[in-house]
């Protein structure tokens, strides 16, 4: 006789699974809420307390913590049969468990005394016991695997390799569960605990990393990490980086916008009456860099835009949706990856360094724009400053952005000297910079960057402020009749 122990918080699919187990001559053991659901469905089972001879106690805190349960899960076939028979312990062949929803309840901000009751003890103990004994016991922690269980019990059972796959998943689940509890308890006192635990699922190997000699994988089932193409080649390591950069910037805009990214930096950004107009303007900021780029737009991609994009080699195109005609056109570009914009899934920023990681979190904050020159920006200059500042926020430091009220004009990124970034932006400008606005991601330590920008035609500048030489920079702006705004917020991106 085969035994299955069912003990689940999430009852999704459990009745259907139990019915299949009964059909296949399994004896079922259960207790608590699961047992109540089985009884209501008319499914015969053995109550755990009747099997152990020991009643549930302490408001259900103790029910499965018993040698007859754990012996049944840990007992090795042939090796432990005699001692199991001596103590009346049945072999348990299948364990189906999911845990108290600690993570979900913690998100509800309930008080600690209530939340403590959602720390599962018996469930993880059973899962670990069954997973350790995977050669003889199949352990299932995810209702998504119930179909696999049904097929196995209707057929020839679980192969050992299949039980090992389930055991890996089981240990990953208990690791994530313990990490969630640990992080929560540590975070009661500090936003950054002395021990930081994190787990990502849905790992997929990539063809290679930043370069062909490097190995890589992507983890995550939501947001950009979970994005998979509707068509085209498999996403690469660099595609994910560029797509994340593009989408982060695109989400700054409510109006129709297009963002073109190359090597993790925007090379063209524009807004327009529609995304077709925005894309054309963004592409024409730097047509050379747009070749082999990642394009993001924030409105449905139409047939007309698909035709235009197809005229340039584009690695990835992302939009909230695509018309049927657009998809048909893009099918002709077999290698171009087409991705639907996912829901935003914010998380801590984690970067590896030698021997550890850096963890960064951005709390809610407010910029405080203040005009600090004799002249206020005109309405058009203010719109241009706002656009340039949004792009500046998502470009590698040191960065200088020239823009008008509709699109970027010149982008200088990733230089050790801020004035060199300004010179690069001017050199790469797609049009006259006369009357343009300029943004700097950090304060100007000297007036030189402002003077270079003014000589190129810029008439307004936005920067965080805060330099010991702010007074000199303000005096230079007034002398050059430039409007300047301080925001109080720095946007380094290293």
Residues acting as catalytic residues: 132, 263
Report how far residue 287's alpha carbon sits from residue 78's, in angstroms, rounded to the nearest whole number.
72
Strand, coil or helix: 353: strand
Report how far residue 6's alpha carbon sits from residue 11's, in angstroms, rounded to the nearest whole number.
10
Residue 440 DSSP label: E
Please give the structure tokens belonging to residue 204: 């997929």
Q: Give yes or no for a contact between 56 and 49, defined as CB atoms under 8 angstroms apart.
A: yes
Per DSSP, the residues of 364-388 read ------EE-SSSPPPHHHHHHHHHH
Between β-strands 293-297 and 437-440, what pairing exists: parallel, antiparallel or unpaired? unpaired
Residue 341 DSSP label: P
Report how far residue 90's alpha carbon sits from residue 488's, in angstroms, rounded to the nearest whole number.
69
Q: Give yes or no for a contact between 278 and 257, defined as CB atoms under 8 angstroms apart.
A: yes
Report how far residue 267's alpha carbon sits from residue 463's, in angstroms, rounded to the nearest whole number.
20
Per DSSP, the residues of 42-91 read T---EEHHHHHT---BTTTTBSS-SHHHHHHHHPPTTTSHHHHHHTTPPP
Q: Give yes or no for a contact between 66 and 54, defined as CB atoms under 8 angstroms apart.
A: yes
The alpha carbon of 160 is separated from its chain's Cα centroid by a whole number of angstroms, namely: 33
Please give the structure tokens belonging to residue 302: 């139409």
To the nearest 10°, report the CA torsion of 102, 105, 106, 112: -90
Report how far residue 275's alpha carbon sits from residue 299's, in angstroms, rounded to the nearest whole number.
6
């Amino acid at each position: 006789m085969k035994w299955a122990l069912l003990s689940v918080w999430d009852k999704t699919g459990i009745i259907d699974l139990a019915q299949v187990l009964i059909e296949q001559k399994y004896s079922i053991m259960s207790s608590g809420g699961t047992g109540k659901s089985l009884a209501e469905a008319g499914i015969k089972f053995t109550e755990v307390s009747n099997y152990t001879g020991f009643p549930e106690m302490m408001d259900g805190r103790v029910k499965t913590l018993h040698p007859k349960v754990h012996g049944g899960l840990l007992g090795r076939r042939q090796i432990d049969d005699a001692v199991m028979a001596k103590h009346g312990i049945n072999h348990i062949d299948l364990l189906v468990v999911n845990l108290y929803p600690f993570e979900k309840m913690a998100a509800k901000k309930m008080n600690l005394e209530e939340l403590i009751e959602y720390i599962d003890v018996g469930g993880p103990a059973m899962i670990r016991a069954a997973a350790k004994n995977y050669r003889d016991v199949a352990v299932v922690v995810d209702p998504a695997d119930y179909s696999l269980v049904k097929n196995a019990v209707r057929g020839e059972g679980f192969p050992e390799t299949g039980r090992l796959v389930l055991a890996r998943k089981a240990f990953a689940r208990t690791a994530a569960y313990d990490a969630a509890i640990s992080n929560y308890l540590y975070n009661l006192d500090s936003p950054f605990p002395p021990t930081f635990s994190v787990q990502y699922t849905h790992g997929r190997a990539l063809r290679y990393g930043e370069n062909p000699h490097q190995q890589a994988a992507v983890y995550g089932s939501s947001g950009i990490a979970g994005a998979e193409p509707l068509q085209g080649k498999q996403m690469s390591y660099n595609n994910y980086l560029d797509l994340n950069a593009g989408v982060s910037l695109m989400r700054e805009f409510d109006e129709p916008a297009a963002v073109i990214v190359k090597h993790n930096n925007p090379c063209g950004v524009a807004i327009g009456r529609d995304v077709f107009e925005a894309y054309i303007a963004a592409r024409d900021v730097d047509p050379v860099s747009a070749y082999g780029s990642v394009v993001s737009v924030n409105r449905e991609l139409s047939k007309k835009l698909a035709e235009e994009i197809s005229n340039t080699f584009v690695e990835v195109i992302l939009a909230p949706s695509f018309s049927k005609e657009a998809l048909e056109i893009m099918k002709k570009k077999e290698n171009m990856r087409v991705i639907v914009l996912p829901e935003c899934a914010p998380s801590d920023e984690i970067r590896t360094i030698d021997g550890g990681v850096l963890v960064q979190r951005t709390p809610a904050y407010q910029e405080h724009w203040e005009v600090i020159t004799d002249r206020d920006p005109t309405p058009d200059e203010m719109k241009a400053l706002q656009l340039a500042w949004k792009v500046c926020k998502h470009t590698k430091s040191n960065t200088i952005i020239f823009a008008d009220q509709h699109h970027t004009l010149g982008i200088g990124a990733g230089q050790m000297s801020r004035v060199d970034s300004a010179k690069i932006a001017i050199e790469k400008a797609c049009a006259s910079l006369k009357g343009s606005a300029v943004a700097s991601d950090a304060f100007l330590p000297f007036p030189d960057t402002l003077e270079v920008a003014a000589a190129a035609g810029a008439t307004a500048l936005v920067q965080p402020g805060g330099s010991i030489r702010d007074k000199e920079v303000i005096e230079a702006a007034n002398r050059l009749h430039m409007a300047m705004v301080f925001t109080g917020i720095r946007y380094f991106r290293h």
